[in-house]
Structure 1
Amino acid sequence: MRVRERSMMQNQIRAQTMSNTTQLLRFITAGSVDDGKSTLIGRLLHDSKSIFEDQFSAIARTSEKRGMSAVDLSLLTDGLQAEREQGITIDVAYRYFATPKRKFIIGDTPGHEQYTRNMVTAASTANLAIILIDARKGVLTQTRRHSYLASLLGVPHIVLAVNKMDMVDYSKQRFEEIIGEYRKFAAQLDLHDVHCIPLSALNGDNVVDRSEAMDWYIGPTLLELLETVEIDHDVNTRDFRFPVQWVCRPQSEEHHDFRGFMGRIEAGEVSVGDEITILPSGRTTTVKEIVTYDGKLHTAFAPQSVTLTLEDEIDISRGDMFVRTSAHSPTVAKEFEATLCWLSEAPLDKSRKYLVKHTTRTAKCLFSRLDFRVDVNTLEQHAVEKLNMNDIAHVTLKIQQPLVFDSYGVDRATGSFIVIDEATNNTVAAGMIA
């Protein structure tokens, strides 16, 4: 009975914790130039009443100066002057809004191939990607590229937003043609959760309010989908992963015996009394306490930040990782294969050493192999001797110290890393471990 009661209590705690920590949905928009990404976000913000009157007045004045008969809602996201002048998105424009059901962070990503690195950066933390298609043009090369990048970055949920339906007389047949072609392509990319919505960002059809002109569409509006898409399981709940960020040793006499290990639970859960293994050393011990600012806990879940104390005195430092003993173990190695997006304007120099930052550990590395570069438009693989900005390639890295990692498909947090230039301290690449 006690075991059953404990299990029920843990389920209740998990449900409450998940409710508190996953109410925030991060999503990006991607599409070709003039597909209407910025207009769609502007319409979403406007119709959900998430903009202030002074913001609306400012873009109304700008629209009037341009001689427009209606307010240009795309100006809500095209924040850079160069973007407004050229009518394109260059940087990733982040916007925040909330409804009674959920909070949102939007990343309006650039569509052009030369800004691939910007989309990769935004998609790396996204729960969902909205890929826009112009109903007149259908599936384009850019659509395939954006879908490939979303698949590569492991974005769990995809929304295919077929925009500008007003320009094709709200044709159901045209919508079905587009989604049929897209689903055939998406099947090659291992995209599982794909939702297709016909809409008109300009007129507001199926963005927040249901479209009367498309009464043949019975699915959710875009906002309804964003509010209800299930994201609790986007976090790896099976495998406990706790990279140590800081060893806490208070200087006060009152707490001079306290030795805690601070960090964020990247996956799974941990309870007082659980047997854990410290990697890469392989030493085992038991969790004594779970300490937070608000008090002690019996159980903690990803992505909570906590301090763990242990029953045994073990030499542990920043970069070590706690995992559950006898469970699915991560890999401990000094060499691994990865898919890499080169972010720097300076090309990769294979003869140089770089730094790899993986979870909380930073170590020197060398690129031992450049296997191939992927053409993001055709998905073809090409032999490569160097990497330039925005290139995506399959590489092999050798690390000076052992890293504790999972494949990116198992856990995005422990399966990803960045590469840093030692000389400038600039981030030059982002990678996903194979």
Structure 2
Amino acid sequence: MADTLIKRMTSSDADFDSALTALLDWESVSNPSVVETVADVLAKVRGEGDAAVVGFTQRFDGWEAKGAADLEIPRSRLQTALENIDGDVRAALETAAQRIRDYHQHQRQESWSYREADGTLLGQQITALQRVGLYVPGGKATYPSSVLMNAIPAKVAGVDELIMVSPTPKGFINEMVLAAAAIAGVDRVFTIGGAQAIAALAYGTESIPKVDKIVGPGNIFVATAKRQVFGSVGLDMIAGPSEILIICDGKTDPDWIAMDLFSQAEHDEDAQSILLSPDAAFLDLVAESIARLLPQSERADIIRQSLAERGALILVKDIDEAVHLSNRIAPEHLELSLENAEQWLAKIRHAGAIFMGRYTPEALGDYCAGPNHVLPTSGTARFSSPLGVYDFQKRSSLIGCSAVGASELAKVASILARGESLTAHARSAEYRILDDRDE
């Protein structure tokens, strides 16, 4: 039974490389029908504004909004939600928010400059984005933690206005999401979702302001829409299914490891959970834990399909090989369930977030540890980073030449510009060259 729930692989097998490649393969956005549907939605919202957004909301979310004004939730309603939720829930949200805020304060970048001997000033000016859109999945499967993780770094960065959109299928509103928005300082909230929400944020309508960047997760229609509007607006990332990779030396409780694998598998059927260990007997114990604990899980059907199709227990030669494979996989979440886990950090090149030691499950990072849970997936940790304050700040180069400094730089620029046959560039620079009498 246990062996049928999740693949068993061995790194020394002749076909291991191709088998691992197949296991990691995931075809992201999007199928042709979704692309066509989304393109139609984007075009209509861009052309018809509020009317198209209201129409799509009525059509896809199943509730009758009489006009665009019905789509906005007043800020007072956010505060009411915060005041009325269970006290323990409010305390948990506020604790998580404070930890997230404290962590992200360390990421703030400041402007800098220096002046050269001739008086020329060079530097970099840091400014926050003016307006950001935050997409939050709606309905009964909603994520207040995503509100905190996306909104708080934006506010720490100094974003002037944060616009949140979240669908309310059949009028259902999640009070925890509204409470989280109040805690995080969200400025405006609209009850819209899907591709129409992305279009409204990207292009603007009569009632919904155009934003500079869109962040936050969504379904395939949202992901496809984000890809299609890129260029008109900035994006955080096009996220794939959630992933966890665990490296374990065989000395952690196998039930703990099984549940850590479940914690990603329960997201959806495409999520990926992989365990690497040099201890074959330990892999057997984890397989037994999976078989025993799975029937007790509320989302057992989703976990079962995820583990069967995209999960694996992989026997490796040693921890060094496990780390080598981890760098190849570049996982979203990497758990180092090892003695002295920190000693391996220098060898980890690619991972969205690294959880060190037996007492640091990935779930703590999802909610309240402090670092952001918006992470690169599908191997993009090779070149991407977690969402952070830096995603909501821009850098402008500063150049201010003195007369003497400009004269010297112009001589260099003139030669290089003429070498590229850009004579207007050269002459523009040459006008600043001082003659001997001026120096």
| TM-score above 0.5 | no
Q: Which has the larger radius of gyration?
A: 2
Higher share in strand? 1
TM-score, normalised by the number of residues in structure 2: 0.28
Higher share in helix? 2
TM-score, normalised by the number of residues in structure 1: 0.28
